[in-house]
Structures are given as C-alpha cells and as structure tokens.
Chains A and B, each alone.
Chain A
C-alpha cells in the first residue's frame, strides 16, 4: 500500500485527494446544516409566530343598559415575551336590542379619549371637537373615519372583547 502510494503519487493521490475534498465538503455541510439550520429557525421564528389572542372580560352583559353607550374599565394582562405586563384601559359598549358594539375609546383623529355626551346624544372628542354619532359615524370635525370597533363575544354571560382585533 505504502509502495503503491510512493510509486504512483499522481494517480492514486489525485483520486484520494478529490475523495477527501468531497468528504470535507459533505461532512462540513452537515455540520453547517445542524448549526445553521437550528440557528436560522430560532432567528427567523418571529416571522411565523402566532399572535396571542387575548380576549378580555369586561364584565357581565346583563347589567349593561340598553341603548345608551356605557364605558367599562378593565385591567388587561398581556404576555410580552417572558414578561406579563398589566395595563388599564377602557371600552365604550353599546347594547342595542341583541346587537352589541364595542368602540375603541380613542378618537380616530389623533387618539384623544372621547366621551359620551347625553345632552347632544353623541360622542364628543375634547381635542379638536370631533363629534361621532351613537353608532360611531363621524358627524362633524376632523376625524377621518368612524370610531374603531373591537370584536366581541359573549361567554357565560360576560362580554369579551379582543382589542388586538381592532377594525376601522
């Protein structure tokens, strides 16, 4: 074997050389695949991570007056990575017959907190005098679109809203 190698350094060496080169390439790729593959999956995972659906209980349906927009405050606990952040927020609820609407409590103009004005029978924004109807349509002022709405559902007699699912 040794003799052979010495006698035919060119022929034997070349084929052995390319065999080893291919071996290095293949084994190296495998190593790279294990490390690079798992690393890439880890790195890119936010791209396909599902958004958390956080339905929030904003109290019983039964005690909600009919036909008058009512503000309900709630505490929202939300996971933020490894943390849980707690925020206070509110929602305007309107029960009309069996129709339930939940309005985002921020004016669609620049995000100010509007309120319900009984005497005017409309929502009034204190910032730039935006006025919305009971159903959220723009009556006057600068707001570009009707009030945003949250998806709602009823479970066990409680109203649940999904602030992340806000629709214009």
Chain B
C-alpha cells in the first residue's frame, strides 16, 4: 500500500496537493459565518446534478416544454423531488450568495490583497441572478411566460440601445420558440460554463491568499504608516499560526452546514414542491404575474417610478448597485476592516439591506389585482385536445367549426360525464349509426375531454338549483323576466362568465370585485350549493328559457 501511494505521488503529486488544500492552516476565529462560501459551492454542484437529470426529460420547445415538465413531475420516479430540489436550490443559492457577500462586505474582506477575489465574487452573483432569470422561462407555464414578458420589457428600457437588448434577449421581436431555446442554451451551457470558470478563479484566489482573518479593531492592531501591507501580512501569518488545519476542523463545520442546508431544501422540496402553473397562455387576462421572490424588490420599486422615470428603478438603480459593488475595493482602500472603524460604509450597507428588504416585504404583501380562480387542469388539457384532435372539423363551438356533428355549445348541460365517457371510448356503441370515428383515445385523454365538455354550457346542475335561486337570489336578481332588479339581470350570465368565476364570486364577492355590494354567501350556503348554483347560472343564455326546472339532469361528479 505504502509503495502504491508513493508511486501515485510521483505521478500526480497528490501529497503536495493535500498539503496545500487540506493541511493548510486557517486563521483563528474562522467560525460558522465562514461556511457560506462552501454552501454556495455545494449548491452549485447540486444544481448541476439535478439540472443534468432534469434535462434528460426536458424538451425546450413551446410545444413540448410544459408537457415534458408535467411528465417529470407525474411519471418519472423522483422527478418531482429532484425538480423541487432544483427550484428551491435556486432560491437557496441566491440567499447563500447574498449572505456570503454581506459577510464579506461587513468584514471588509474585499480589501488588500483580496480585491480580485471580491470581483470574481461579484461576477458569480450576477451569473447566479442570470441563471435564476433564464431558468424561470423553461417550464413554459403562466409564471414563466409572464415573468419573461415583463423581464424582457424591462431590458428594453435600457437607454438608447434598449430595443436591441430586448431583441437579443428574446432572439427576435416576439417571445416564442427562439426565446425558449436561447434561454435554454444560456441556462444550460453559457452560464454554467461561466460560473465554473469564475468559481475556479475564486477558489484559487481563496487558497492563494488564504481565508481572510476576522477583522480587528484599530485599537487592538494598528498597522498605520509606511509598510502597512507588510505589517498586515505578518499579522495574518500570526493569526494563521494560532489557527487549526483546514481539514478536519473547518471542513467539519462546512459539511455540517451543507447537510443542514440540504435538509432545509429537501424539506421544502417535499413539503412545498415545485409549483407548475397552467400552460403559458398569451391570451389570458386574469393572470397575476409575479416574479420570483428575489426579484420582488425591483417589482415593488417600479411602483414608485411612474412613466418616463421607470428606467430609474429598472436600469439605473440596479446598474448603479452593480457598479458600486465592482468599484468598492477600488474606493475603500484603507486597512480599516472592522465595521465600527468604517461607520459610513457600515451604514450604507445596512441601509441597502433594509431598503431591499423593505421593498421585498412590500412586494410580498402587495395585493393581487385579479382573483385567483381555481382552474381544473383537466379542463385546460381537454380544451387543448379539442384543438389537437381537430374536433372543429365536424363540430361547431362558439360559432366556429363544421356542421357534420352536433353543435357543442351546451353539450355540458345535455350530457353527463358517464355518457360522455362512453361516447369518447366508442362513439358507435353509444350512438348507433354515428359517423364519428373511434379515435382510440387514451384514458387520460378521455378524462380531459369529458372534463372540458362538461363545462360547456355551464355544466350539469341538480334539480335543487333553480328553486334555490328563486328563493335566495331573485330577491335582488332578475332571470328571464322574473325577480327584482337591485342587482344585475343574470339571464345571459353564462355567455360571459364561467362556473368557477361565478362560484368564487358568490362565495365571496369582494375577492373578485372590491366594490361589489353583494353579500358573501360563504357560510350561508354550503360549498356544494354554491357550486350547484354556479353551474345553473353558467348555463344561462340570452333568449333561452330557464332550463333544469323542467328537465333536471344528473350532477356529474367533478374531479379536481
């Protein structure tokens, strides 16, 4: 064995490497605050590993991106967990990198001789933010789409060259397929390569200069006068002599901190998971675009700079911030390192943290303008399939389509889920002599189509809904000539509101419309009653007589 290690040393020089990396002494006073750098390094590794795995089942095209993520979440073993790790890992990365920077800032560890280390660190922070921004778009869900719409518009506010910046970012004029592949390449190749290079440089410099000793007050150590650099160097060597070796003393703290960090991230991945909203829909006007929490301070800041001043919040202030970070080691060049010996910078740092913290907090608290309506993913999937399967070749919906099959506008109130399911599985068996072909639909496709069809025309409601409406709602609302006129006439409500919207509104009107005078029915009526009513109302069309009272239909069991 001894012989083998010697032989290996001759070829690789591992003993020298071990000595330099593991046996090097670390200055006294290096404590838990110093574990942040290792945590960031670990997070990079974790993001790289989980990212590579996710890429195995990801397709960067608007046609498939969303479905491929759904596949990862629902089908691939451990897929949801690994995506959770990747998503929460990204947030953790921002937190850890910023905390690391805060530590270095207040301890003034960016000073001589570690200016270059600081600069590579600023570069790493920017790359991390870039990774966050580009990673966002990849799932191609609502959040992804709208956040990128906002983000690319912000980039267009850059003075003079804004229009070009926007086009370069998006790969064209519109946010679309090219934007997605562009972001994918930047997120997967360009930025990880950059981060690897910067990290290598950063770590090399950390080892080269040695980990900075904790700052001392001028009172206890004052190197003032010519030759202060040499005095500082000697002091550092003294502190180093008093310290312990990197392995195992510092490595233990690092490992422990990393394990704790992973436990938190894994906990969040299991408990909260990684959300996947509905498929990106450029026509949706009820969505509330919100950025990831670490961009909330910019989001909130925008509200204070109206109109032409907006570029101050989007470009000027962040630009100044980055410039200040880059310029810091060149401006603050004295040997004073203790926070109390640099009152101005300490105050500036605290003010910046408080400011960004305040904006983030305000952004978190800012109310959503649009109500969050529960959407049934099956219905959305069914709507998509309706188009994919070219159902409109034969059927008319909303006045568009062919005339071979029946009009589908109110099919949801004519047919229940059982009939629809049997019909989609084998049309000829349910309707003798029909020309509708058997599409050999997959089980989940049948489910989605049934869910979608059930919503058309408002869906099915129980015979109890019409009398309930007469009893409770006609005191204020008119329906086909009957009832009072305190509230709006609801005879054609089904033409412009769907059942989930009505359900949310009846439950608690101010949630949807702040100025509504209607009392909330939450608690007064049961949720099942409200849902029943919402289907009844959603099936109301202008000119149609109230249905249901005469011909009640079965309530289909709704799956969410």
Q: In the bound complex, do residue A17 and residue B248 qualify as a contact, i.e. CB atoms below 8 Å apart?
A: yes
Question: Which of B46, B64, B82 contacts A83 (CB under 8 A)?
Answer: B64
Q: In the bound complex, do residue A24 and residue B248 qualify as a contact, i.e. CB atoms below 8 Å apart?
A: yes
Instruction: A79 to B82: give the CA distance in the assembly, Å.
Output: 23
Instruction: A68 to B550: give the CA distance in the assembly, Å.
Output: 53
> Given contacts A42-B76, A75-B439, are A24 and B67 in contact (CB under 8 A)?
no
Q: In the bound complex, do residue A82 and residue B78 qualify as a contact, i.e. CB atoms below 8 Å apart?
A: no
Quick one: CB contact mask for A40-74 with B, threshold 8 Å, 1 for yes? 01110100000000001101100000000000001
Q: In the bound complex, do residue B441 and residue A43 qualify as a contact, i.e. CB atoms below 8 Å apart?
A: no
Chain B residues whose CB sits within 8 angstroms of the CB of A4 once the complex forms: none
A residues 1-54 in Cβ contact with B at 8 Å: 17, 20-21, 23-24, 27-28, 30-31, 34-35, 38-39, 41-43, 45
Q: In the bound complex, do residue A35 and residue B262 qualify as a contact, i.e. CB atoms below 8 Å apart?
A: yes
Instruction: A79 to B251: give the CA distance in the assembly, Å.
Output: 48
Chain B residues whose CB sits within 8 angstroms of the CB of A21 once the complex forms: 247-248
Closest to A18 in B: B248
Interface SS of B by simple majority: helix
Chain A residues whose CB sits within 8 angstroms of the CB of B441 once the complex forms: 77
Instruction: A59 to B79: give the CA distance in the assembly, Å.
Output: 38
Question: Which of B64, B81, B440 contacts A77 (CB under 8 A)?
Answer: B440
Q: In the bound complex, do residue A83 and residue B67 qualify as a contact, i.e. CB atoms below 8 Å apart?
A: yes
Q: Does B486 contact A (CB under 8 A)?
A: no
Q: In the bound complex, do residue A82 and residue B251 qualify as a contact, i.e. CB atoms below 8 Å apart?
A: no
Least CB distance from A123 to B in Å reads: 25
Instruction: A88 to B421: give the CA distance in the assembly, Å.
Output: 23
Q: Does B361 contact A (CB under 8 A)?
A: no
Q: In the bound complex, do residue A39 and residue B251 qualify as a contact, i.e. CB atoms below 8 Å apart?
A: no
Q: Does B77 contact A (CB under 8 A)?
A: yes
Least CB distance from B252 to A in Å reads: 4
Q: In the bound complex, do residue A82 and residue B64 qualify as a contact, i.e. CB atoms below 8 Å apart?
A: yes
> Given contacts A35-B46, A82-B59, A82-B71, are A76 and B440 in contact (CB under 8 A)?
yes
Chain A residues whose CB sits within 8 angstroms of the CB of B67 once the complex forms: 82-83
Q: In the bound complex, do residue A57 and residue B68 qualify as a contact, i.e. CB atoms below 8 Å apart?
A: no
Q: Does B521 contact A (CB under 8 A)?
A: no
Number of interface residues of A (CB under 8 A): 33
Least CB distance from A45 to B in Å reads: 4
Question: Which of B70, B79, B429 contacts A42 (CB under 8 A)?
Answer: B79
Chain B residues whose CB sits within 8 angstroms of the CB of A17 once the complex forms: 248
Chain B residues whose CB sits within 8 angstroms of the CB of A56 once the complex forms: 440
Q: In the bound complex, do residue B77 and residue A42 qualify as a contact, i.e. CB atoms below 8 Å apart?
A: yes
Q: Does A81 contact B (CB under 8 A)?
A: yes
The listed residue with most B CB atoms (<10 A of its CB), out of A24, A74, A156, is A24
Q: In the bound complex, do residue A38 and residue B82 qualify as a contact, i.e. CB atoms below 8 Å apart?
A: yes
Chain B residues whose CB sits within 8 angstroms of the CB of A41 once the complex forms: 77-78
The listed residue with most B CB atoms (<10 A of its CB), out of A21, A30, A84, A157, is A84
> Given contacts A43-B53, A82-B59, are A38 and B262 in contact (CB under 8 A)?
no
Q: Does B204 contact A (CB under 8 A)?
A: no
Q: In the bound complex, do residue B256 and residue A35 qualify as a contact, i.e. CB atoms below 8 Å apart?
A: no
Q: Does A90 contact B (CB under 8 A)?
A: no
Q: In the bound complex, do residue A42 and residue B82 qualify as a contact, i.e. CB atoms below 8 Å apart?
A: yes
Chain B residues whose CB sits within 8 angstroms of the CB of A76 once the complex forms: 440
> Given contacts A23-B255, A158-B426, are A38 and B78 in contact (CB under 8 A)?
yes
Q: What are 8 A-to-B residue pairs whose CB atoms are below 8 Å?
A: A27-B255, A43-B56, A45-B78, A75-B439, A81-B68, A82-B64, A82-B67, A82-B71
Extra contacts, 17 of them, besides A31-B259, A77-B445, A158-B426 (Cβ < 8 A), are: A20-B252, A23-B248, A23-B252, A27-B255, A27-B258, A41-B78, A43-B53, A45-B77, A45-B78, A74-B440, A77-B440, A81-B71, A82-B57, A82-B67, A82-B68, A82-B70, A158-B429
Q: Which residues of A contact B (CB under 8 A)?
A: 17, 20-21, 23-24, 27-28, 30-31, 34-35, 38-39, 41-43, 45, 56-57, 59-60, 74-77, 79, 81-84, 156-158
Closest 3 CB pairs of A and B: A82-B71, A20-B248, A82-B67
